[in-house]
Amino acid sequence: MTVPTVLVLDADPLPRLGRLTGRARVEHADASTLAERLPHADVLLVWDFTSRAVPAAWPGDGPRPRWVHTASAGVDHLMCPELAASDTVVTNARGVFDQPIAEYVAALVLAMAKDLPRTLELQRERTWRHRESQRVAGTRACVVGSGPIGRTIARTLKALDISTALVGRTPHTGIHGPEDLDRLIARADWVIAAAPLTEQTRGMFDARRFDVMQPSARFINIGRGGLVVEGALADALAKRWIAGAALDVFEHEPLTPDSPLWRAPGLIVSPHMSGDTVGWRDQLGAQFVELYERWETGRPLLNVVDKQRGYVPGR
C-alpha cells in the first residue's frame, strides 16, 4: 500500500516527525525545489512560515497537495488566487501561540507603564534618576482582532484590571464591530493590533488612525506587519501624536539596519518573537502530527482556514 507523501518546506531546525515513520513518506524542499516537488506531494507542511515561496510555486490546475498546513497563525504568506480557488484544505497553528503572545503583550504594557526601557538605559549610564510611573489598573485597552490570540490578550489584560474592548470583523456579544473602532481607540490608553492580514485589514493603522488616538496612548502590534503603515507610525511618534509603541512584526523582516524605525522615539522593537517560548517548535511539530492522524483516518481536520477570508472562522 502506497503511503502518502508529506513535503516539508524546510526551516532550521527541522520538525520532529518520527511518529509518522511507516505512515508517511517525508520529503523536503526549499524555495528552489518547491515547485518541482509540489505536484507529487499529498500534504505540504510549511515549516518555514517566513517563506513566500508557496504562491510562486503553487501548481495551479495541475496535480497538487490535498492539504496544506502552515506552522503559523497567519496564512497571508502562502495564499494566492490559485490556492484559494482549489479544493486543497489549508490549516494553521491556531492555539499554539495564544497564551505566550498574551503574556508578551502584558509584559510590554507593564514595561511601558513602568518606564522600564528608560530604567535599563539609566542603569547602563550609572545614573540615579527618580521618576514616577503609571498605574495600569483602571486604564483602557482596545484589542483589534477577536480570534483566539485577541481574546486571550483581552482576558490577560482584564486580569491586570485594565478595561478591555475587543473588536472583530463582525459584532457579537462582547465583541465590537469595525464601525466602533475609531470611537474605541480614541478613548484607549493601549491599542493592540492582533488581527489577521487581509485585504480589509492591510494598512488599517495609518496616519488617520494614529491621529484619532490620545496623545497619552501606546500602540502595540503583535499581529502582522502589514496592518501598520510604518512610516505613519514613525511620524506619529516623532510628532508625539501618541506616547509610545511596540512592534514585534514588520512589513519586511528582518528589519534592515537603516530602517528609521530603529530611531523612532518611544518605540520598542522586537524580532517577531512574541509567541516563541521554549519548546514552541516541538509543540508545532506535535500539532501537525495530531492533525495528520485525523487526516489519514478521514476525520475532519481542525483549524481549517477560510481561504477567502484568510483566517479560521469563529468568534
Active site residues: 224, 253, 272
- Give the closest residue to 198 by CA, choosing from 274, 278, 308: 308
List 8's β-bridge partners, or say none: 28, 45
Cα–Cα dist 102/248, whole Å: 13
Q: State how far the Cα of 48 lies from the Cα of 54, in Å rounded to an integer.
A: 10
Length of the chain: 315
- Per-residue b or e along 272-306, where b marks 16 or more CB atoms closer than 10 Å to that residue's CB: bebbeeeebbebbbbbbbebbeebeeeeeeebbbe
Q: Residue 304: helix, strand or coil by DSSP?
A: strand
Q: Which three cell numbers stand for residue 114?
A: 513602568
H-run or E-run covering 235: helix 230-238
